[in-house]
Structures are given as C-alpha cells and as structure tokens.
Amino acid sequence: MAFITFQGHPVQTRGELPAVGTKAPDFKLVGSKLTDISLADYAGKKKLLSIVTSLDSPTCAASALRFNEKAAQLPNTVVLVISADLPFAQCRFCSHEGIQHIITLSSFRSRFAEDYGVGLQNGILAGLTARAIVILDENDHVLYTELVGELADEPDYESALAVCRETSNNGSLINP
C-alpha cells in the first residue's frame, strides 16, 4: 500500500502500482458503448493510462484536457483516461469539452483499482482511485509509473509524455 494526501489529509491506497519492467495486469474496463475493454483491444500500441478520481473534479478535468491536447502528437500511442465515472458521464464530459484524442474508460464494474494499486482505502473519497500515470509498451510491459502524492495536484505531464516520445517500437527506451 502507498500513502498519499487529499487536501493535506493522509489517504492510503490498496496495493502498489505495477512495477516498472513487469507485465501489466490485464483489465476489463467499460467503454462508451457499455462494452468490456481490455489491454488486447490496444495490442501493438503504447498505452498511457491516466488514472483519475472523477472527471467531475477540476484537476481530473484539467488532466484529461491536457492529455487530449498532446495525444495526437504521440506516435503509436493511445491515451486512456480511467475513472469510476459512468460511461454516460464520461461521454457527456468529452462532448462538452470537445475531446477527440483520448479514450475514457470506466472502472465501475471491475477490479482495476485493486489490480493497479490505486484504490483509495480511507478518507472521504474511499472507493475511488488515486491519481496516477502508468505507461505500457506495445507488449504491455510497464515503462513508467507515477502516483501523484497529493490527490488535488496534477501529474508530471512532461515526464510521462517524454517516455511516450522516447520509446522505440519494441518498447525499450531509445535514450535510457
């Protein structure tokens, strides 16, 4: 388990993010048409998982907008924004904000939060997810992780985007 804060108050997560270099756990998330989506749906592509608490919060919305702005510039990479929001709410958010370059997925009927170590165990947001970034190569090996220390803060965009730009087609770092 890891410890983060929310508005300065300590919060504990269930588990840890997958370790860099390991094979990422598969997932079954819910897409916009209420269909199950897994890692296999993005086979052969790098995957930037932007895990957020709720797109209804200002920080999560800002994060989704920032990644939407940058996603089209990332070769062979899909940006997945994952939250517990229902797909209807995610679609409404994307439509309202003009989002076209990211894919929102819902964890509402999955074990994703537990399998990826981001489930909030205590505090007023218990049951939702911590803010995190996990980047996977084309073969679903973990290249990069970030668990944001304060839930109200945004992730380190530049480091995450640099990892997506600096990896080769086989997932190894070009400039380690």
The CA-CA-CA angle for residues 144, 146, 86, to 5°, reads 105
Instruction: Say which residues have a Cβ less than 8 Å from residue 111's Cβ, sequence separation at least 6.
Output: 27
DSSP 17: P
Length of the chain in residues, anyone?
Answer: 176
Residue 96 CA, chain-centre distance (Å), reads 21
Please identify which of the residues 60, 91, 94, 164 carries the catalytic annotation.
Answer: 60
**Could you confirm whether 94 is annotated as catalytic?**
no
Active site residues: 60
